[in-house]
Chain A
């Protein structure tokens, strides 16, 4: 139950990546900020799930009011720092910028937000209401819980976050691509949330170290931000040796485990067509794996991953095989050496295709934590394993249990988790103040 000794190992694959969108220096930030039109009723704002007042924070960079700029961001989004680097801005704020519609380069909102956050993020920017004496337990220290807890302490409540991992941060710590946001930055953001007054206990698993009943007894309300389960390896032929790994597990190793390496990997295949698959192929190619393929069971046009990320993957040399699935794995001395693909179409679009492969990463989705969630009385999951809650207040079937983030929305982005966590905090506040 260590609280303080959060350290990320120094030697790990993640450390070798460069930022795809490097930090602005002050001069660059000013130049870019001056380009922003400071639109009225700006379309970039509603495109942000946390509705950050983008024109205002950018204008404040221009007037050299950096603390004010950071305040404007944090007032809407306590995780403004990680969001500035991990958000798919191409389909969110920057995609909606008036410049985009005009056929010009949009304002680099994400990088400006990063500049404001790295220059001026500080706990004294935000007001804190008088203590209420209410205590809330939050399960999981991912973006959803952190945003929720940070908002709750500002409202005067006590918030205690329980995380089963040794390190806090959820998928920001273990999952997001290292060329976007690295573990040290996640720790810095967690420290910021802690400096607001949130207590974070790592190495504590709810359901094992504490039961659902215990939490409900000791706390006035509970927030479930447990995210999704481990990689699903459904549909992958029998595994008889090393060389096959789930995508989330592989990324976690790359980000945090010094033992993870790509030495000797010549041919990697990633199964899946979502953003996790697109991240993994780019990571592998950037790490120097000579041949990286992604294999998708449907057509490229049906891929759920973002088109801009697919383009990025193409640019680093990734090749894609569509309408295909691994039908047979080939082993030698307990190691994977090849994969035989077969067509998913009928009639088959190609005869079976044998490909050399020494690393097969499976990115076909994550499981659900239904068992854990349903230990809380009256809390239910829907058919696809998502926690059922009222969309505005995020209250579950149990009036004292709230939720948000991947376990509720089925797996979206950090910014959605943050928005939902903050929304739940407001509903919890309302509930507790009614007493």
Chain B
């Protein structure tokens, strides 16, 4: 059985699955139930100077029938008294000595930081996470993403923290920046032990068109909020991967953003996360989802012959490169499995209107000299079916399988993505040449040119 336990910047946890600082970690009672369900760690809902939250607070993006593909919130940090939170943190840690209890913090002045860090140490917690990410409400007060977006301020603040504590310190970063590397390096420069990302993305989730007020509505108005949930996963994955491969950045990364299953978690870990944090999926389905995450990751590691989570960390990193390093001689073309095709023609319209006009309707002929193995068959079958139907046969369906003009197919994947039948369209490898050739090679060797010139190639 693979070893799922981790040591993340000195924080030990029985598995890499942590709850992100958010409503699921509001209270000790919740976190203890979460640990019983299997969560390895929890980042306590951000503590700070008292605030008042609004009602309502959440809005969502639904995709057809499926709810909460994206979630948006205008909630601030904890609204429970500081003393109560600190007392419960100590209680949880005492009852669950082997689980990771991390306290999220957001304060203003060096004195406040020094004071809270001391009080955190007294709880016995395993580490602290500095919330430099909240994109609403707190930044207006000069905290949260206001810090995360200013590398100099960020470094300064981390230094105050490092001066006041010996606890492991994680800096939680905001994605609302143009370059994620800058704040990450700033956190490293300040002495942080690790970073976590992403916090939520600044967003407006929708507009109530009857009232003409954005949602979620608070009386007669709304405000921009923070976006999270399955929809943000790609953004978070990219940022994690970017940091992991940054040569001058060496801190452990806790991956957050849209994780709902073992698979999502494994992807984050493979791109460099040493632990993962979850919020929306738990808000949707409860703590119970962790059982599948643990089991699924365990089965996956076994299937890959890996003996620990550690082996997976960054395992996909070598496969994540700059565009200029990709092989230009690699080429795939779409192939439609006639037996599986249901004749919806979604691939045709997608390719015809949205790509490169190379999937054609049956009955049409291939252009002279083009490679289209199915064209003649499709034409013949379409004709045969049409004549049988014309002759009065009612048991014959029109032939509706489109065909691919391979000469024109650029291998973009679009048809494969829209096809509703799994395994019906296959992207078949047809290399342009056996050797690899990258754009960087071409520029280096003078076979290709950069308009205006590029320095670092």
Contacts and interface: CB of A to CB of B under 8 A. Distances in A.
B418 to A, nearest CB: 14
Contact of B296 (A27, A40, A63): A63
A352 interface: no
A25 B288 CA distance: 27
B295 A65 contact: yes
A298 interface: no
A interface SS class: helix
A350 interface: no
Given A26-B422, A40-B286, A63-B263, A68 B292 contact: yes
Given A27-B422, A63-B261, A65-B262, A38 B285 contact: yes
Nearest to B67: A37
A73 B188 CA distance: 47
B66 interface: yes
B391 to A, nearest CB: 30
B439 to A, nearest CB: 35
Given A26-B422, A40-B286, A63-B263, A35 B292 contact: no
Interface centre among A25, A56, A63, by most chain B C-beta atoms within 10 angstroms, is A63
Given A26-B422, A38-B285, A65 B292 contact: yes
Contacts of B299: 65, 67-68
A27 B66 CA distance: 17
Contacts of B292: 56, 59-60, 63, 65, 68
B425 to A, nearest CB: 13
A34 B288 CA distance: 17
B421 interface: yes
Contacts of A64: 261, 263, 296
Contact of B66 (A25, A30, A34, A60): A34
A71 interface: yes
A147 B420 CA distance: 40
Interface residues of B, number: 19
Contacts of B261: 62-65
Contacts of B289: 59
Nearest to A67: B299
B291 A56 contact: yes
A34 B64 CA distance: 12
Given A34-B66, A63-B261, A63-B263, A68 B295 contact: yes
Nearest to A25: B422
Interface residues of A, number: 18
Contacts of A67: 299
Contacts of A63: 260-263, 292, 296
A71 B422 contact: no
B456 interface: no
Interface in A54-104: 56, 59-60, 62-65, 67-68, 71
Nearest to A28: B422
B295 A71 contact: yes
B445 interface: no
Interface string A23-50: 0011100100011001010000000000
A79 to B, nearest CB: 22
A366 B425 CA distance: 54
A145 to B, nearest CB: 30
A67 B298 CA distance: 11
B3 to A, nearest CB: 18
B322 interface: no
B293 to A, nearest CB: 8
Nearest to A30: B422
Contacts of B262: 63, 65
A38 B292 CA distance: 13
A198 B382 CA distance: 57
B65 interface: yes
B240 to A, nearest CB: 20
A333 B291 CA distance: 69
Contact of A35 (B65, B285, B422): B65
B296 A65 contact: yes
Nearest to A64: B263
B421 A68 contact: no
Interface in A236-261: none
A68 B285 contact: no
A138 to B, nearest CB: 31
Nearest to B261: A63
Nearest to A62: B261
Contacts of A38: 285
B6 to A, nearest CB: 21
Interface in B120-138: none
A67 B382 CA distance: 43
B178 to A, nearest CB: 34
B421 A27 contact: yes
Interface centre among A27, A35, A60, A68, by most chain B C-beta atoms within 10 angstroms, is A68
Nearest to A68: B295
Given A34-B66, A35-B65, A60 B422 contact: no
Interface string B255-293: 000001111000000000000000000000110110110
A68 B422 contact: no
A30 B421 CA distance: 11
A30 B66 CA distance: 14
A71 B299 CA distance: 12
Interface string A326-361: 000000000000000000000000000000000000
Nearest to A39: B285
Contacts of B422: 25-27, 30
A35 B422 CA distance: 18
A60 B288 CA distance: 12
A87 to B, nearest CB: 24
Interface centre among A27, A30, A35, by most chain B C-beta atoms within 10 angstroms, is A27
Nearest to B294: A68
A38 to B, nearest CB: 6
Nearest to B284: A38
Contact of A60 (B285, B286, B296, B420): B296
A105 to B, nearest CB: 13
A332 B260 CA distance: 72
B296 A68 contact: yes
A30 B296 CA distance: 17
Interface string A107-145: 000000000000000000000000000000000000000
Interface string B116-154: 000000000000000000000000000000000000000
Given A64-B263, A71-B295, 12 more contacts: A25-B422, A26-B423, A27-B420, A56-B291, A56-B292, A60-B295, A63-B261, A63-B262, A65-B261, A65-B262, A65-B299, A68-B295
22 contacts: A25-B422, A26-B422, A27-B420, A27-B422, A27-B423, A35-B65, A38-B285, A40-B286, A56-B292, A59-B292, A60-B292, A60-B295, A62-B261, A63-B260, A63-B261, A63-B262, A63-B263, A63-B296, A64-B261, A65-B292, A65-B299, A71-B295
Interface of B: 65-66, 260-263, 285-286, 288-289, 291-292, 295-296, 299, 420-423
Q: Which A-B residue pairs are the 4 nearest by beta carbons?
A: A63-B261, A27-B422, A65-B296, A68-B295
